């Protein structure tokens, strides 16, 4: 019985074998087309890019701007070699005459324009305007031109001293206007502020409508420091939802934490928006006719409590205006339930600071954003913030961020995943070296014990699974010997609950709760980010720098601290925002003594003095629909003084127009790489943030991107930018010192310049 | 003067429930050029961010001051906008934005839909007039399609045209508000041709149950089960109609054939949302759908999601954020136009290189040229890191070129069980072909060896060592009790009797059997072979697994004992505990085999797994039934009653627990809020 079964089985199987071999076919592989031929087709839509506000528009044909303001009813009150200041006491307004070209600057063209009501006319004309709160928290605006304001002034030398008293509100204070070497300085004496009534002072604006333009009556623009720099060209009124208001040096997370509900009501996660760029420099400007007349304003004191406010025509008024808002009090969210819902209430105590803002009057070649950038650059040189200390290399540097290790979600416990071992990192460096790229800025992230998102912020230890200290130092020396620099990455600011003891080390907001940044996405593992107490941030950094020195570690790359400036508001332990800034500056000054190089990511202007290199400099503005252009203001200021790098190219910045932008803005390329493919990373904490980092996939792109940019920018190492012109939509010429220029062509047709051709999606050095 | 009352009113007003939600991430890692992230579906089916698929180029029509524009359509390099607020159609040249024409002023009232046919004739659905109006390309009125007078259409039927398209033969398709029977189809002459493609209604389980009970009159009063209406429609070059339905989670988008049936290959599996507002078809037959919140979803022609982008403008207006998006259209160079009704502007998105590559790849893929699409998919994977559609594309390409190993690898990554099963079949087939000879030889050798061993054993007793060993282990009570499972499975009645009278089994052995059953259960639940495993063990919390196994069993044992004592059952708690555990014997002994089998069979043989699993559970059920009868000494009817009462008691316990939990949670929240508020006011 068994035997028969066995035999039949054998027969059947053999039959199957036979059948299969009879019916199987072979098929030859077709050859597939090469991709290179298709590249042009694939990038054909890039030309749509140039009409957007990520690029700069060409200036229209020059029309001479004539004075729209007159000096009737005004009396001269101050004068020096450069400007004359006129004043009319009826509405406490000033006019400024630029002696160089006779242009008159002021608020509104008349005392009460037909399209403005009395309150706004007062705000538009007068020297000072305020926002104030009543007991119920309702915010209102008024100015010193209003009826019930008592004003007194006295001129003393080059300064007008004012005392104002809003009698109905019970608010009074003193301020001054000083004429100093062709510039006007507005100051408010905070000690003189008195609030005797039921009203509380909210914010103060100096000459809010200075340089404002009605609709598109003049060809010109407002310049705001959004990202690298943005222009709002004067245009007809349009009903925008809101204006531009951003705090200088970014939000103060210890009090600013109001975000709108972003509910998309779909199965996709709700955190769809990319981060808006922050204001890195406390400046703004207005141009009436490019290369004709310009205003440049710089906040010189109290910028930690200031916001840049720019309003295009159509939002509340038909005027385009820009001003600085000095915030004494603001509203914040006091949560009363566990889910975070609560009441918005007004700050009880005023912020302590003394506002000071300076206005400079520009004309001729200085009167555009390039001129402003050069003016600002000179100021920073004179103050010692910047110096001609860019490292001059024969080949441009290439930044490679390497992810070493991170925590991974396990079945019961979390474990540590090695993402790129030191050996693999060495392989990456060697393969780049073999392609003749040796000037590498290597940043090792996740080298600490616990990985990138699991390491304790207060501790200093190497992750053993990657290697011992000596292995790291060996790798560091290896990179240095090849001609590069090796940085250890630090993030002492933004952490998750695994990294700090929340009660002791977490920063608190004014509501006494921990500062928590939540991502509205149910699919990711770690949704909440906490901020470390700001004084601890300073301490940890200083301790770490000392440990670096004693351990022979040379370079530190610090993330987050450059652009996150926040107070500590736990009762009894308060550090104000300006104290925090002083603290961080002091720390930076101390740690550079222990380090060879300190690099910062997207640093605010006060850190530039201490930075050897700047990582992740913004290249595009926040793209509000009223912004008409992106301009490389910050790049013009920094080029020739510090090496700066663009955001990671492999995270959405690798197209040909992006590479051209790097060339145009003088920025060096950067990439973030791992030795694992991204689906192998899907259970780690960083899986949602990086989409494509596997180095074998990117090696070719890195080499070709580097070579393209290096061919150009290696010739411009250490040179300053002298001018920038948009020859035609999509064709930009950047002039450097030494009489050499780059012309970049973002369009897909050739551009003829003098006797040369700038190829489509290409560049030309002249 | 601020009165107390208005202060209180104001405080209440100010009591804004704003959730502290933010969309902040580390600034270092962001797409520099985009205002909103582009998303795709990763290989394991989750939404992931990817390289920018589309970026905003221009913002159009800021200076046109459009009033309540309701629809946008593009044909022959002209943009047509139905300007509802001004009763006209605005026609703008794509290449020359100064070339603007207006059509229909004075004739139209509130146009909400616009379409242009191949002859350049403009069809307008005018909600205000309640008509569809046709103009020629110069704007001359050609005809008006009023309410059809045909008897078939009926007197009470709604005719409120909102959107309209027409096909190559001139037939007109109208989406009318409040029309549940589907799309109204008219001939070019205005004759009513019938309704097209109505939605089906679905009865929920509860409703179906009630349907059985109530009489016809009661049904008519209570249930108004009407199908959902269509919200918008589009037509492609082949004349196929696409529709959108709102308020449904599945199949919100449909592609209809001539009879009106949904022919999307991914129907029922498609990722769709309940709030789409417009739909259009691209140049590669891909589908674009726009949600009410400003998101654009792009699908291939089968309904697989390719990319999603866009965003919602709540208080900040950035490029690509919309306030009230109402219309989407595509031009011939693949730019995507989104119309914002509230702002009266159009944002134009252009595709980046990776999107153009994706379009090329899906176009080749759809023509069946899988191998040519391979290099595109590889590039796309390199750039975007994780993409389900790319892995599927590569899988198909490798399959077509007969590299089954690679095909299976990619299908497995893409969680595509159906295609993986086919690739695996091929691999298994090849393996069998290659190895059948060796297998047969090995089997033969083993058989020969076994005969030799048996012969030797007969003569010399070489296996006696093993026999002694087994005998010794069986003598340990615990082991023998556990092995008693086998007997219990085959002779439940006698075994239950033995257990009841204490002769066999102990609490210890029963617990051991429970543990073994749990292990078998976990293996089957979480660790089946890829083709048959619906879940990833990492996503499942181990506590959850313990709960779904342990909790019902625990509840059952306890409830059964309680119920039985009330019912004069004879069984003690120990008896119920032990017999229930032994009743799981089929699970312990046979489920692991089924689990192992799941690693080597394909979907074609999937019925084996299902059949075996069902058989095992049924067997367990029978064992429980029989053992209950024996230990409690009930009649058959008594056992049934006992089981029903046990189930009922389990249900009651669960409900009681939930009630207590919810009340406790509410109480806790209330006290917490009180304390927080008090501390704030005092502090």
Mean model confidence pLDDT for chain A? 90
Q: Does B486 lie in the same domain as B347?
A: no
Domain total of chain B:
2
**Does A84 lie in the same domain as A47?**
no
Give the model's pLDDT for residue A11.
64
Give the CATH number, domain containing residue A346: 2.70.98
Residue A629: the pLDDT is 94
In a domain, A644, yes or no: no
- Eight-state DSSP code of residue A158: T
For residue A208, being part of any structural domain is answered with: yes
Residues making up chain B, counted from first to last: 683
Buried b / exposed e across A532-568, counting CB within 10 Å, b at 16+?
Answer: bbbbbbbbbbbebbeebeeeebbbbbbbbbbbbbbbb
CA distance B206 to chain A (A): 26
pLDDT digits (tens, 9 = 90+) for B622-632: 888 888 888 88
Of A389, A155, A260, A283, the C-alpha closest to B316 is A260
Determine whether the interchain pair A259/B343 forms a contact, defined as Cβ–Cβ distance below 8 Å: no
Residue B152 lies in a domain: yes
Q: Which of B21, B295, B343 sits opposite A259 (nearest CB)?
A: B21
Structurally, chain A folds into a number of domains equal to 2
CA distance B583 to chain A (A): 30
Q: What pLDDT, on the 0 to 100 scale, is given for residue B80?
A: 95
CA distance A67 to A598: 49
More confident residue, A383 or B678: A383
Question: What is the C-alpha end-to-end distance of chain B, expressed in Å?
Answer: 28
User: Which positions in chain B touch A52 (Cβ < 8 Å)?
Assistant: 55-58, 319
Pairing of strands B241-245, B230-235: antiparallel
Q: Which of A40-49, A151-160, A259-268, B173-182 has the highest mean pLDDT?
A: A151-160
pLDDT per position as a tens digit, B425-451: 999 999 988 888 898 999 999 999 999
Crossing angle of helices B492-500/B573-583, nearest 10°? Answer: 150
For the stretch A640-664, pLDDT in tens is: 999 999 999 988 898 889 999 999 9
Residue B149 has pLDDT above 60, yes or no: yes
Instruction: Give the ipTM.
Output: 0.90
Mean pLDDT value of segment B92-113: 91
What is the mean pLDDT of the segment spanning B13-33? 48
Q: What is the pLDDT of residue A13?
A: 60
Whether A17 is in a domain gets the answer: yes
Q: CB-based contacts of A704: which residues, under 8 Å, 6+ apart?
A: none
Please tell me the predicted confidence (pLDDT) of residue A21. Answer: 47
Q: Is A196 part of the contact surface with chain B (CB cutoff 8 Å)?
A: no
**Facing residue for B386 by CB, picked from A518, A648, A678:** A678
| A240 interaction partners in chain B (CB closer than 8 Å) | 317
How far is it, in rounded angstroms, from Cα B139 to Cα B155?
32
d(CA A237, CA B433) in angstroms, rounded, equals 77
- The domain in which residue A361 lies consists of 75-382
The CATH number given to whatever domain includes residue B247 is 2.120.10.30
**pLDDT recorded at residue A745:** 93
Beta bridge partners of A221: A233, A287
Same domain for A88 and A219?
Answer: yes
Strands A751-753, A731-736: parallel, antiparallel or unpaired by DSSP? unpaired
Of B28, B36, B385, the CB nearest to A692: B385
Cβ <8 Å between B542 and A53: no
Contact A341 B271 (CB under 8 A): no
Check whether residue B192 and residue B326 sit in a common domain: yes
Quote the pLDDT of residue B198.
77
More confident residue, B481 or B526: B526
Reply yes or no on whether the pLDDT at B1 is more than 60.
no
Asked if residue A141 belongs to a domain, the reply is yes
Q: Has residue A652 been placed in a domain? A: no
Q: Is residue A598 part of a domain?
A: no
Q: If contacts are CB pairs under 8 Å, which of residues 283-342 in chain A contact chain B?
A: 333-342
**Of the residues A348, A382, A416, which one is the last residue of a structural domain?**
A382
* Chain A, window 609-638: residues with a beta carbon less than 8 angstroms from a chain B beta carbon: 615-616, 618-620, 622-626
Q: How would residue B545 be classed by pLDDT, with cut points 50, 70 and 90?
A: confident
In which band, very low, low, confident or very high, does the pLDDT at A174 lie, cut at 50, 70 and 90? very high
Partner residue facing A341 (CB), from B18, B36, B345: B18
Whole-angstrom CA distances from B144 to B158, B178, B223, B336, B447 are 17, 21, 38, 31, 88
Question: Average pLDDT of A61-75?
Answer: 90
* Residue B318 covered by a domain: yes
Tell whether A561 is covered by a domain: no
Do B493 and B345 have their domain in common? no
User: pLDDT higher for B77 or B216?
Assistant: B77
- Interface touch A52/B15, C-beta < 8 Å: no
CA quadruple A504, A507, A509, A514: dihedral sign: negative
Cβ(A369)–Cβ(A294) below 8 Å: no
Residues B345 and B483 occupy one common structural domain: no
Q: Note whether B125 and B265 are same-domain residues.
A: yes
Which chain B residue has the Cα nearest residue A277? B27
Rounded distance, CA B461 to CA B459, Å? 6
Judge whether B502 lies within some domain: yes
Q: End-to-end CA distance of chain A: give it in Å, rounded.
A: 95
pLDDT at A7: 61
**pLDDT over 70 percentage in chain A:** 93
Q: What is the mean pLDDT of residues A726-740?
A: 94
Helix count (H) and strand count (E) of chain B? 17, 26
Residue B375 has pLDDT above 80, yes or no: yes
Q: Where are the alpha helices (DSSP H) in A552-595?
A: 577-594
- What's the rounded mean pLDDT across residues A419-436? 94
Query: How far is C-alpha A517 from the geometric centre of its chain's CA atoms?
Result: 18
B372: in domain = no
Quick: pLDDT tens for A77-128. Answer: 999 999 999 999 998 999 999 999 999 999 999 989 999 999 999 999 999 9
Flag whether pLDDT at A606 surpasses 90: yes
Q: What are phi and psi of A70, to 5 degrees?
A: -120, 175
CA distances from A27 to A210, A466, B371, B402 (A): 77, 47, 12, 8
556-575 in A: which are within 8 Å (CB) of B? 559-560, 563, 571
Residue B219: pLDDT band (50, 70, 90) is low
**For B350, nearest residue in chain A (alpha carbons):** A45
Q: Is A238 on the interface with B (CB under 8 A)?
A: yes
Residue B649 domain boundaries: 477-665
Q: With respect to residue B488, please indicate whether it lies within any of the assigned structural domains.
A: yes
Which residue on chain A is closest to B310 by alpha carbon? A272
- Distance from the Cα of A492 to chain B's closest Cα (Å) equals 13
Q: pLDDT band at A322, cuts 50/70/90?
A: very high
Domain co-membership, A185 together with A228: yes
Q: Tell me which of A365, A382, A399 is where a domain ends.
A: A382
Question: Quick check: is B386 in a domain?
Answer: no
Q: Are residues A149 and A229 in the same domain?
A: yes
Q: A347 and A306 in one domain?
A: yes
State whether A181 and A226 are in the same domain: yes
Q: Sort B488 into a burial class: Cβ within 10 Å, 0-12 / 13-18 / 19+.
A: buried
- Position B24 scores a pLDDT of 39
Q: Are residues A224 and A352 in the same domain?
A: yes
Last residue in a domain, options A323, A354, A382: A382
User: Does a structural domain hold residue B489?
Assistant: yes
The whole-angstrom separation of Cα B601 and Cα B606 is 7
Q: What is the pLDDT of residue B455?
A: 86
Full-model pTM: 0.86
Is A98 a domain residue?
yes
Would you say residue B398 lies in a domain? no
Does residue A689 belong to the interface with chain B, where contact is any CB pair within 8 Å? Answer: yes
pLDDT tens per residue, range A652-699: 898 889 999 999 999 999 999 999 988 888 889 888 888 889 999 999
The beta-carbon neighbor of A340 closest among B19, B27, B683 is B19
A6 touches chain B (CB under 8 A): yes
């Amino acid at each position: 019985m068994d035997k028969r079964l066995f035999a039949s089985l054998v027969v059947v199987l053999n039959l199957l074998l036979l059948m299969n071999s009879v019916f199987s076919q072979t098929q030859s592989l077709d050859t597939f087309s090469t991709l290179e031929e298709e590249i042009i087709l694939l990038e054909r839509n890039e030309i749509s890019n140039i009409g957007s506000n990520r690029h700069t528009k060409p200036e229209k044909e020059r029309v001479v701007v004539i004075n729209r303001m007159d000096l009737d009813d005004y009396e001269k009150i101050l004068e020096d070699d450069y400007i004359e200041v006129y004043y009319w006491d009826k509405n406490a307004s000033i006019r400024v005459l630029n002696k160089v070209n006779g242009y008159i600057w002021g608020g509104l063209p008349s005392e009460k324009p037909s399209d403005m009501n009395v309150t706004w006319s007062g705000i538009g004309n007068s020297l000072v305007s305020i926002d104030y709160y009543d007991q119920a928290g309702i915010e209102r605006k008024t100015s010193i031109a209003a009826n019930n304001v008592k004003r007194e002034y006295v001129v003393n030398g080059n300064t007008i001293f004012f005392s104002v008293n809003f009698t109905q509100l019970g608010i009074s204070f003193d301020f001054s206007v000083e004429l100093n070497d062709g510039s006007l300085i507005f100051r408010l004496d905070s000690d003189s502020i008195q609030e005797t009534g039921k009203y509380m002072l909210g914010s103060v604006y100096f000459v809010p409508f200075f340089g404002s333009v009605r609709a598109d009556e003049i060809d010109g623009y407002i310049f705001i420091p959004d990202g690298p720099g943005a222009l709002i060209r004067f245009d007809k009124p349009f009903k925008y939802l809101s204006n531009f208001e951003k705090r200088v040096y970014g939000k103060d997370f210890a009090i600013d934490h109001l975000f709108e509900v972003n509910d998309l009501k779909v199965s996709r996660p709700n955190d769809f928006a990319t981060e808006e760029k922050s204001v890195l420099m406390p400046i703004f400007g207005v141009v009436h006719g490019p290369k004709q007349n310009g205003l440049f304003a710089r906040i010189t004191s109290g910028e930690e409590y200031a916001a840049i406010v720019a309003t295009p025509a159509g939002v509340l008024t038909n005027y385009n205006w820009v001003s600085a808002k000095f915030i004494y009090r603001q509203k914040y969210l006091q949560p009363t339930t566990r889910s975070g819902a609560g009441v918005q209430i007004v700050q009880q105590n005023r912020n302590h600071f003394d506002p000071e803002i300076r206005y400079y009057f520009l004309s001729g070649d200085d009167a555009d954003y390039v001129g402003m950038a050069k003016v600002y650059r000179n100021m920073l040189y004179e103050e010692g913030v910047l110096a001609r200390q860019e490292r001059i290399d024969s080949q441009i540097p290439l930044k490679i961020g390497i992810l070493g290790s991170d925590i991974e979600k396990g079945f019961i416990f979390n474990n540590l995943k090695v993402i790129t071992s030191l050996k693999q990192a060495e392989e990456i460096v060697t393969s780049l070296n073999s392609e003749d790229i040796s000037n590498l800025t290597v940043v090792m992230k996740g080298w600490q014990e616990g990985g990138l998102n699991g390491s304790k912020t207060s501790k200093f230890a190497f992750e053993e699974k990657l290697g011992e200290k000596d292995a790291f130092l060996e790798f560091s020396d290896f990179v240095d010997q090849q001609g590069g620099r090796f940085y250890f990455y630090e993030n002492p600011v933004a952490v998750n609950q695994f990294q700090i003891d929340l009660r002791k080390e977490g920063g608190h907001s004014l509501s006494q709760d921990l500062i928590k940044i939540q991502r509205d996405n149910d699919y990711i593992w770690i949704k909440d980010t906490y901020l470390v107490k700001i004084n601890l941030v300073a301490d940890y950094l200083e301790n770490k720098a000392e440990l670096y020195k004693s351990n022979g570690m040379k370079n530190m790359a610090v993330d987050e601290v450059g652009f996150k400036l926040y107070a500590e508001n736990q009762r009894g332990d308060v550090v104000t925002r300006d104290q925090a800034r002083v603290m961080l500056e002091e720390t930076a000054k101390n740690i550079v003594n222990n380090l060879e190089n300190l690099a910062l990511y997207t640093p605010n202007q006060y850190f530039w003095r201490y930075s050897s290199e700047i990582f992740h400099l913004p290249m595009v503005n926040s793209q509000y629909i009223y912004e008409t252009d992106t301009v490389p203001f910050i790049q013009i200021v920094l080029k020739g003084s510090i090496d700066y790098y663009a955001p990671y190219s492999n995270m959405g910045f690798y197209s040909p127009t992006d590479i051209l932008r790097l060339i145009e803005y003088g920025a060096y390329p950067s990439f973030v790489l791992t030795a694992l493919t991204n689906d192998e990373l899907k259970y780690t904490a960083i899986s949602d943030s990086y989409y494509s980092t596997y180095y074998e996939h990117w090696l070719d792109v890195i080499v070709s991107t580097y070579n393209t940019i290096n061919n150009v920018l290696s010739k411009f190492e250490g040179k300053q930018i002298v001018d920038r012109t948009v020859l035609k939509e999509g064709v930009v010429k950047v002039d450097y010192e030494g009489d050499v220029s780059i012309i970049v062509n973002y369009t897909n047709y050739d551009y003829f310049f003098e006797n040369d051709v700038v190829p489509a999606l290409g560049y030309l050095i002249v | 003067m601020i009165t107390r009352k208005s202060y209180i009113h104001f405080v209440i007003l100010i009591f804004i429930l704003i959730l502290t939600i933010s969309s902040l991430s580390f600034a270092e890692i962001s797409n520099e050029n985009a205002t909103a992230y582009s998303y795709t579906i990763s290989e394991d089916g989750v939404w992931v961010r990817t390289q920018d698929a589309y970026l905003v180029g221009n913002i159009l029509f800021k200076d046109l001051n459009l009033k309540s524009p309701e629809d946008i359509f593009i044909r022959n390099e002209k943009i047509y906008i139905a300007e509802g607020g001004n009763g006209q159609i605005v026609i703008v040249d794509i290449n020359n934005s100064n070339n603007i024409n207006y059509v229909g002023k004075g004739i139209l009232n509130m146009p909400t839909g616009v379409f242009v046919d191949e002859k350049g004739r403009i069809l307008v659905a005018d909600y205000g007039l309640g008509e569809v109006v046709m103009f020629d390309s110069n704007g001359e009125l050609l005809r008006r399609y009023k309410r059809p007078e045909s008897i078939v259409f009926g007197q009470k039927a709604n005719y409120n045209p909102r959107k309209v398209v027409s096909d190559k033969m001139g037939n007109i398709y109208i989406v009318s508000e409040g029309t549940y029977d589907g799309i109204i189809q008219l001939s070019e002459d205005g004759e009513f041709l019938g309704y097209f493609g109505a939605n089906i209604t679905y009865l929920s389980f509860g409703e179906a149950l009630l349907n059985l009970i109530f009489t016809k009159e009661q049904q008519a009063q209570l249930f108004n089960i009407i199908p959902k209406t269509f919200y918008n429609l589009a037509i492609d070059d082949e004349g196929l109609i696409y529709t959108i339905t709102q308020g449904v989670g599945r199949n919100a988008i449909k592609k209809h054939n001539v009879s009106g049936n949904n022919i999307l290959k991914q129907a029922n599996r498609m990722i769709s949302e309940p709030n789409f507002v417009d739909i259009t078809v691209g140049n590669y037959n891909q589908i674009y759908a726009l949600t009410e919140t400003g998101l654009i979803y792009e699908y291939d022609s089968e309904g697989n999601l390719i990319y999603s982008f866009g965003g919602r403008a709540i208080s900040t207006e950035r490029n690509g954020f919309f306030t009230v998006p109402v219309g989407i259209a595509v031009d011939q160079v693949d730019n995507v136009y989104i119309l914002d009704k509230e702002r009266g502007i159009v944002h134009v998105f252009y595709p980046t290189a990776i999107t153009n590559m994706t379009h090329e790849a899906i176009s080749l893929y759809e023509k069946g040229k899988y191998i040519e699409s391979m290099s595109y998919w590889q590039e796309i994977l390199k750039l975007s890191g994780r993409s389900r559609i790319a892995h599927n594309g590569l899988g198909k390409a490798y399959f077509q070129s007969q590299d089954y190993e690679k095909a299976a690898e990619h299908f497995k990554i893409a969680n595509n069980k159906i295609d993986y099963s086919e690739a695996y079949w091929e691999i298994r087939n090849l393996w069998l072909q290659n190895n059948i000879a060796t297998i047969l030889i090995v089997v033969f050798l083993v058989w020969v060896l076994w005969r030799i061993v048996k012969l030797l054993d007969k003569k010399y007793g070489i296996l006696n060592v093993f026999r002694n060993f087994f005998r010794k282990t069986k003598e340990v009570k615990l082991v023998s009790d556990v092995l008693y499972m086998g007997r219990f499975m085959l002779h439940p009645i006698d075994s239950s009797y033995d257990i009841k009278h204490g002769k066999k089994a102990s609490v210890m052995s029963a617990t051991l059997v429970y543990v073994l059953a749990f292990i078998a259960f976990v293996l089957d639940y979480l660790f089946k072979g890829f083709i048959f495993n619906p879940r990833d063990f990492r996503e499942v919390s181990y506590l959850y697994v313990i709960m779904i196994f342990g909790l019902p069993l625990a509840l059952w044992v306890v409830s059964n004992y309680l119920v039985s004592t009330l019912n004069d059952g004879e069984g003690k708690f120990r008896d119920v505990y032990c017999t229930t555990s032994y009743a799981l014997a089929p699970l312990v002994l046979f489920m692991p085999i089924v689990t192992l089998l799941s690693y080597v069979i394909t979907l074609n043989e999937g019925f084996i797994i299902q059949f075996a699993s069902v058989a095992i559970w049924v067997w367990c059920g029978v064992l429980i039934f029989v053992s209950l009868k024996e230990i409690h000494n009930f009649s058959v009817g008594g056992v049934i009653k006992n089981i029903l009462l046990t189930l009922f008691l389990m249900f009651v316990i669960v409900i009681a627990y939930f009630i207590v939990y919810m009340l406790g949670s509410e109480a806790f929240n209330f006290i917490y809020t009180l304390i927080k508020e008090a501390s704030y006011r005092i502090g």
